[in-house]
Amino acid sequence: MGRVLDSSIWELRGYDCLVFCQIVGCQGFDRSRHQSQVLRWTWQEAGRQYKDREKYVNVRSARISLPQSRNFTISDRDDLPPFDPRWSEWPCPGDQAIREALLRAHEDGSWGRYHGPNVEQLEAELAAFHEVPAALSCASGTIAVQIALRSLNLPDGSEVILAAYDFPGNFRAIQDSGLFPVLVDINPRTWCLDVETIEAAITEKTSAVIVSHLHGGIADMPAIREMADRRGIAIVEDACQAPGARLHGKRLGTFGDVGVLSFGGSKLLTAGRGGAILTERADVLQRAKIFCERGNHAFPLSELQAAVIRPQLKRLDQWNQRRWSSVQRLRELLASWEGYLSPIQLRADSEPAFYKHAWLAKSEQVATRLVGRSEKLGLPVGSGFRGFTKRPSSQARKVGTLNDAENAASRTVLLHHPILMHELAAMDWMARWFSWELAAMVGSRPDSESI
């Protein structure tokens, strides 16, 4: 049963629209008599209802149906404006700082050099930004995970614990490093590993764990760090989806023995391709360099890539805050749909970064419909990873039932980050679209389908 949003948080956007609103104390409103009544409002009538709050709802003969509460839901979306394709664009076209960086690299010739100033300066800036002694750039986030594993000098054939729901490249990196994956379940509210789950999977063969921060979720790194030190295992911390995020004021990617970043084409810091590792350990850095150096860097980040990442890094905190504001807005607007779309749990002691924002749909059918409908319209909504729960025992050891990882693989709904950089009207649009589609499934409009 749907409600869309409280009028007190709706802002007029300057176009005629069907508004999500809540009637509080309206004259003549009797909830017991109007459970299924259809009200027809005009702009003037809506204005009279809200003028004491100075909240004038932009309604042009909107049709609003009442669910089984005092909150309204959409029954018609005829007035929903077309989706603005600019909300899905990334990298942002026309970025002047990136243009200037490209021109400088062209003018000084560094773009064509094996060794130029930009890679070295970017590595120094990444280390300073994360407050660690060293950063080493490379060709991708996936190869960065493999470099991280190799740099830890783990015994051949030893086990590395990994979430059964994670980026597929991490599973492959374990195998390519001569190690054996151990799959454990995730926390269904955070899409991350819990310390208890990790510790329960440790055996005498365990040498390390890969901890990924996914979809805005943040793992409890202080607890995992304490446990790993006590049990004598190493941590590879995958912050590819969360550059710049903080936990207890400390940047993600700096809690583990090695942290991993990605500069892939859709990432928050992007150069089309690229990655980096972060570490406080001199021995790890030395082994990483030895693994990479084969007469020359075997997996290099180019000068041109480094040049365009540098201006983005300077603005990352500002951009992350902007995305966070948008996420807060959208979560507030969709709060009453949590029975059908449960948002990822965010930590109060964190400053998150959103490469994607996750919801867990009530069922696979709900997730499939939302993602399918969004693809037809070109919206920045997608599904999650397939996960590893179906991998054979010859490829991985599985601990427990992995039910939550299985659910995440089939029921995750993701909103991609580019839209979060735009005005709050974009969040209002997405809230209205989600609400319309959910209302269609729960029976709040005539052509509804049952879930």
With a cut of 70, say whether residue 23 has pLDDT above it.
no
- Decide if 85-93+315-442 and 96-312 have a common fold: no
The CATH number of 85-93+315-442 is 3.90.1150.10
So what's the pLDDT on residue 357?
A: 99
Residue type, position 411, single letter: R
So what's the pLDDT on residue 93?
A: 84
**DSSP SS3 for 40:** strand
With a cut of 50, say whether residue 52 has pLDDT above it.
no
Residue type, position 130, single letter: H
Q: Work out the average pLDDT over 324-328.
A: 98
Task: Report the phi/psi class of residue 12: left, alpha or beta, with left for phi > 0 and alpha for psi in -120 to 50.
Answer: beta
- Asked if omega into 91 is within 30° of 0 (cis), the reply is yes
Secondary structure element (H or E) that encloses residue 359, with its range: strand 356-361
So what's the pLDDT on residue 70?
A: 27
Evaluated on CA atoms 331, 337, 338, 342, the torsion sign reads: negative
So what's the pLDDT on residue 79?
A: 64
- Residues 119-156 have pLDDT tens digits of 999 999 999 999 999 999 999 999 999 999 999 999 99
With a cut of 50, say whether residue 32 has pLDDT above it.
no
**DSSP string for residues in 391-430:** --TTT-EE-S--HHHHHHHHHEEEEEGGGGGS-HHHHHHH
With a cut of 50, say whether residue 236 has pLDDT above it.
yes
So what's the pLDDT on residue 442?
A: 82
Torsion of CA 246, 248, 253, 256, to 10 degrees: -170
Rounded to 10 deg, the angle between the 303-333 and 96-108 helix axes is: 170
Nearest to 415 by CA among 323, 340, 345: 323
Q: Work out the average pLDDT over 91-111.
A: 92
With a cut of 50, say whether residue 29 has pLDDT above it.
no
With a cut of 90, say whether residue 173 has pLDDT above it.
yes
Q: Work out the average pLDDT over 186-192.
A: 98
With a cut of 50, say whether residue 45 has pLDDT above it.
no
Q: How far is CA 198 from CA 64, 82, 217, 349, in A?
A: 49, 46, 17, 22
Q: How far is CA 133 from CA 130, 173, 281, 293, in A?
A: 9, 25, 8, 20
Split at pLDDT 50, 70, 90, the class of 92 is confident
Count, residues in the chain: 451
pLDDT, mean over the chain: 85
- Cα–Cα distance measured from residue 44 to residue 88, given in angstroms and rounded to the nearest whole number: 36
Which has the minimum average pLDDT: 103-112, 237-246, 301-310? Answer: 103-112
So what's the pLDDT on residue 24?
A: 32
Q: Work out the average pLDDT over 191-218.
A: 99
Of the two residues 24 and 362, the one the predictor is more confident about is 362
Domain ranges of the chain: 85-93+315-442, 96-312
Name the percent of the chain lying above pLDDT 70.
80
Nearest to 49 by CA among 57, 61, 60: 57
Secondary structure element (H or E) that encloses residue 288, with its range: helix 282-292
Nearest to 90 by CA among 224, 272, 226: 272
- Cα–Cα distance measured from residue 32 to residue 264, given in angstroms and rounded to the nearest whole number: 55
The residue with tokens 């807005």 is: 329
- Cα–Cα distance measured from residue 157 to residue 149, given in angstroms and rounded to the nearest whole number: 12
The reported pTM is: 0.82
Contact 38, 75 (CB under 8 A): yes
| Residues forming beta bridges with residue 262, ordered by sequence position | 275
Output the six-digit token pair for 282: 């001199």
- Cα–Cα distance measured from residue 206 to residue 179, given in angstroms and rounded to the nearest whole number: 10
So what's the pLDDT on residue 155?
A: 98
Output the six-digit token pair for 412: 């995750």
Q: Which fold has domain 96-312?
A: Aspartate Aminotransferase; domain 2 (3.40.640)
Contact 278, 269 (CB under 8 A): no
Residue type, position 283, single letter: D
Of the two residues 144 and 436, the one the predictor is more confident about is 144
- Cα–Cα distance measured from residue 408 to residue 383, given in angstroms and rounded to the nearest whole number: 9
Q: Work out the average pLDDT over 340-366.
A: 97
Q: Where are the beta strands (DSSP E) in 142-254?
A: 159-163, 180-184, 206-212, 234-238, 246-247, 250-251
Name the phi and psi angles at 439, rounded to 5. -60, -35
| C-alpha 134: how far from chain center | 26
